[in-house]
Amino acid sequence: MVQLHVKRGDESQFLFDTTVDVSVETVIQQLTAIYNGRLKVDRICSEIQELADHGTTLPPNMQGLTEEQIVELKLKDEWEDKCIPSGGPILRKDEIGRRNGHAPNDKMKDVLMKTVEEAKALVSKKQVQANVCVTIAMVKEALDQLRGAVMIVYPMGLPPHDPIRLEFEGQEDLSGTQASLQVITEDECQLWWAAKEMHRGKKLQDYIGRNEKTKLVVKIQKKGQGAPAREPVVTDEQQKQMMLHYYRRQEELKKLEEAEDDSYLDSEWSDRQALKRQFQGLTNIKWGPR
């Protein structure tokens, strides 16, 4: 298997296993599915944390309004009485006025938060350090875990305008948000390796040969952004080890200079008269009482 270390810019994303005879187009399709799936998991986890703290989102026409404005405009959240968390709600007011403040109780909150941690760990960037390859199945598993936890806490479901429900249904609208800048669609994705773009219509073996036991650092980015920066010749860890070795060597040289060690002059090999005394039979002579 060929292992791809996928990056965006200088930031590691995930590891992915494939083969040399697969097409570049297929690889791009698989990588973008995983990459965007991980972003979806992160977005849902972020929203679930808000759900656990402040309950479901208000209708769009009520968000950001004060209580006085809501009363004055005679607005009502029709989903407040329908989408009640298991075990009953606890009042935790949302200061920014985005959610209704009817949060799950502490037990149900723990269910949500524990699932969030498990899902995030499953597709975390730390999997690169653990040498674990991420698959689309793992992304789906993380999404299923989150969906299951929300169903446990909200058996009646979430309002149709809630971003968590929209994410699960694939109807999220990210236009105008920072999250939209992170997403890379399959059509606009480019795959780069060794400062060369891997073109669709070719296979991986056209670029890396037929050796299946290969590890590559590849980068994904949107079209029109030019070639990504080259990978450094040495890694950060190698750079640290080189600096540490250089520092230790410098310290050793300083100690030698300070010591100005001339004790070698007492050594037998440095005695210029040693050969002469050997011929005269004057070696190994000891002075002192018998």
DSSP sequence for 142-204: HHHHHHHHHHHH-TT---TT-HHHHHHTT----TTSHHHHH---TTTEEEEETTEEE-TTSBT
Distance of alpha carbon 272 from alpha carbon 269, whole angstroms: 8
- 22 pLDDT above the threshold of 60: yes
- What 8-state DSSP symbol labels residue 18? E
Distance of alpha carbon 37 from alpha carbon 40, whole angstroms: 5
- 99 pLDDT above the threshold of 90: yes
What was the pLDDT predicted at 243?
84
Nearest to 33 by CA among 137, 132, 106: 137
Sequence ranges of the domains in the chain:
2-222, 236-280
pTM of the model: 0.78
Bridging pattern class, strands 2-8 and 11-18: antiparallel
The token duo for 29 is 């399709």
- 233 pLDDT above the threshold of 90: no
How far, in Å, are 23, 26, 198, 286 from residue 201 at the CA level?
7, 10, 9, 89
Write the burial class of residue 150 (CB in 10 Å: 0-12 exposed, 13-18 middle, 19+ buried).
Answer: buried
What was the pLDDT predicted at 241?
81
* Residues in CB range of 55: below 8 A, 6 or more apart: 85, 89, 92, 94, 99, 100, 101, 102, 103, 104
Lowest mean pLDDT of 5-14, 61-70, 201-210, 254-263, name the range: 254-263
* Residues in CB range of 166: below 8 A, 6 or more apart: 172, 173
What was the pLDDT predicted at 142?
97
What was the pLDDT predicted at 248?
82
Stretch 32-54: mean pLDDT: 97
185 versus 225: which is more confidently predicted? 185
Mean pLDDT estimate for the chain:
88
Stretch 97-108: mean pLDDT: 94
What was the pLDDT predicted at 6?
96
> Over pLDDT 70: what percentage of the chain?
87
